[in-house]
Amino acid sequence: MKYLAASMVLLSGFTCARAGLADEVSPEIRSAALRVAVTTCATCHGPQGNSISPKFPRLAGQSAAYITAQMKNFKNHARGDADAVGYMWGMAAPVDDDLIVGLADYYSKQKPAAGEKSSDAAAIGRGKAIYTEGIAAGGVPPCASCHGASAAGTADFPRLAGQTTQYLVKQLRAFHTNLRDVAVMHGVTSGLSAENINDVAAYLASLGP
């Protein structure tokens, strides 16, 4: 528990960012963010952030603080998973701080679409157990303790509900290998097998808005 608490402080340091509260986003920035979201981001992340291809993460309803932190991590190259390097380092580079706040605000307010329901009910069941109870033997805490009971996330911890299976699996693997360097997530995923990762992803992807 001490480890978990310390990790949460560390994680807060990584992910906590000055979030744009609704009344802090000016109409000019809101308008500029809408334009960029519709004409650029949507090409991959889909209309209103509900991506069509499972390769690109859904952004609809995502935590504004988390989006802000990730955009900054793309800009300063702190986030180094493969698709971050190949796609988002370039995309985020010209985005200034005001626009980041505006985009984060925009996507946080979008209505997430239903996720992809796997036909493997057993995998979903196993994934739910891991998410809500963790794996005591493997030292894996319940994901719900940070990401929320319904995986809707909090101000600092990202929404996972309805995210694409492919993206979730890729990120969990990236945390596991430290390709994406986040200490607490590395600790969490160290105890997850490949099957565990697939099961958790199947469960999370099946969750509706």
Contact residues: other proteins, CB under 8 A: 34-35, 38-40, 42-44, 47-48, 52-55, 85-87, 89-94, 166
3-state secondary structure of 52: coil
Q: 């196993």: which residue's tokens?
A: 126
Give least dist CB 34 to other proteins, A. 6
Give least dist CB 97 to other proteins, A. 15
Give least dist CB 208 to other proteins, A. 18
3-state secondary structure of 133: helix
Give least dist CB 8 to other proteins, A. 32
Q: Name the token pair of 133.
A: 């109870």
Q: Name the token pair of 36.
A: 């960029």
The CB density around residue 194, as the number of other CB atoms within 10 Å, is 11
Burial class of residue 41 in the structure, from the number of CB atoms within 10 Å of its CB (0-12 exposed, 13-18 middle, 19+ buried): buried
Contact present, 188 and 140 (Cβ < 8 Å):
yes
Contact present, 174 and 185 (Cβ < 8 Å):
no
Q: Which lies closer to other proteins via its Cβ, residue 79 or residue 128?
A: 79
Give least dist CB 136 to other proteins, A. 32
List the beta bridge partners of residue 140: 135
